Amino acid sequence: MTDRLPDDTELERLLADPEHRDNPLLPLLSLLLERDREQRARLERLLRISDCSYDMARGQTQDLLQQYDRQLRRLEKITRISDRYQRNLLELNEQLKKAALRDPLTGLANRRLLMERLHEELERCRRGREPFTLVMLDADHFKRINDAFGHDMGDRVLCMMADTISRQLRDYDLCARWGGEEFMLLLPNTGLEQATSMVERVMEAVRALRLEGDEQIQLSVSAGLSTYRPDEAIDLTIYRADSALIRAKQNGRDRLQVAQR
Ligand SMILES: Nc1nc2c(ncn2[C@@H]2O[C@H](COP(=O)(O)OP(=O)(O)OP(=O)(O)O)[C@@H](O)[C@H]2O)c(=O)[nH]1
C-alpha cells in the first residue's frame, strides 16, 4: 500500500469498478468523494477571494502613498511660496519704511526723519552732551535755473547739490531736504566755530559745481546757522537758523550768517 492518496479520477474509477459493485460502503464513499470535491471547491474560492482582497488592499495602500507624496510636495511648494512671500513682504515693509523717511527726488532724509533725529539730539543734550548746530541752506536764484534750463535740469541740479553737500559731512551729521530748494543740516556735538568752517567747506564745494553744457552758470547757496541752547524749544533753534538765512539772502546771497543771540 502506498502513502499517496488516490486522485479524483482514480477514486471514480475504483468506485465504478464492477468488482466493488456489491460493496456496502460504495454509496457512502461516493458521498464522501462528492463532499470532498465541494469542500475543495469552496476552499479554492475562498483563497481566490482572499488573494483578490490582498491585491485590492495593496493597490489602495499604494494609491494612498502616492496621494500622500503629492500632498507633501504640494505642501513643500506652498511653504516655499509662503516663505518667499513673507520675505518679499518684509523687504517691501523695509522699503516702505525707508521711503517714508526719505525725499524721493534726492534720497536725502525728509523732514520726518530730521525731526526724529532732532529729538534724539535733544535727549542727548539733556543728558549733558555738547550742543548741536542747525544749518539752513537755500540754493541761490534757483528759479533762474528752472527758467533757463527747464524743471528736469532743475531737479538734476538739486540732486547734484544734495550729493555735494552730503559728501562734505561726517558720518553722524545729517543733511535733510527741508523743502523745495532748501536743505537743513544737523551737526551733532558741534559748536558754532566748527560748524562755521564746515559750512564754508560746503559752500565752496557747491560753488565748484558745473552744469553739463554750460560752464558759465555759477551755483551757490546761502546759509543760516544756529546752535541749540540747552532747554530751549527746538522750534526756536529752527526759527533762528531761518532768520539768519533770510539775512544772508538780504546781504547778497552766497554767504553764511550766524543767528543773533
Ligand atoms: N526743478 C525743481 N525746482 C524746484 C523744486 N522745488 C522748488 N523749486 C523751484 O525753486 C524756485 C525757488 O524760487 P524762489 O523762492 O523765488 O527762490 P530763488 O529763485 O532760489 O531765489 P533766492 O532764494 O531768493 O535766491 C522756484 O522756481 C521753484 O519752482 C524742485 O523740486 N525741482
- pTM across the whole model: 0.72
**What distance in angstroms lies between residue 225's CA and the mean position of ligand 1's atoms?**
21
Q: Hey, which of 142, 146, 152 would you mutate to test ligand 1's pocket, going by the most ligand atoms within 8 Å of its Cβ?
A: 142
Q: What is the dihedral of CA 191, 196, 198, 201, to 10 degrees?
A: -170
**What distance in angstroms lies between residue 145's CA and the mean position of ligand 1's atoms?**
8
| pLDDT confidence of residue 3 | 67
User: Does 131 sit in the ligand 1 pocket, CB within 6 Å?
Assistant: no
| pLDDT confidence of residue 2 | 56
Spell out the CATH class of 111-258.
alpha beta
Q: Hey, which of 141, 153, 158, 181 would you mutate to test ligand 1's pocket, going by the most ligand atoms within 8 Å of its Cβ?
A: 181
Mean pLDDT by 10 residues, the chain (261 residues): 74 86 87 90 90 88 91 91 92 89 96 96 89 97 94 95 98 97 97 97 96 84 96 95 98 96 68
Spell out the domain ranges in the chain.
7-101, 111-258
Q: Which of 116, 181, 182, 232 is catalytic?
A: 181
Output DSSP code: residue 4. S
Distances (CA, A) of 244 to 65, 143, 158, 186: 80, 21, 22, 16
User: Does 140 sit in the ligand 1 pocket, CB within 6 Å?
Assistant: yes
DSSP string over 96-116: HHHHHHB-TTT--B-HHHHHH
User: Does 181 sit in the ligand 1 pocket, CB within 6 Å?
Assistant: yes
User: Does 254 sit in the ligand 1 pocket, CB within 6 Å?
Assistant: no
Active site residue 12: no
User: Does 147 sit in the ligand 1 pocket, CB within 6 Å?
Assistant: no
Q: Which three cell numbers stand for residue 222?
A: 546761502
Give Cβ neighbours of residue 15 (< 8 Å, ≥ 6 apart).
Answer: 26, 29, 30, 33
CB 142 within 8 A of CB 154: yes
| pLDDT confidence of residue 197 | 97
- Residue 214 CA, distance from chain mean position: 43
| CB atoms near residue 35 (< 10 Å) | 10
| pLDDT confidence of residue 50 | 86
Q: Which three cell numbers stand for residue 258?
A: 550766524
DSSP string over 59-75: HHHHHHHHHHHHHHHHH
Element (H, E) at 225: strand 221-227
User: Does 180 sit in the ligand 1 pocket, CB within 6 Å?
Assistant: yes
Handedness of CA 191, 194, 199, 200 (dihedral sign): positive
Q: Which three cell numbers stand for residue 2?
A: 502506498
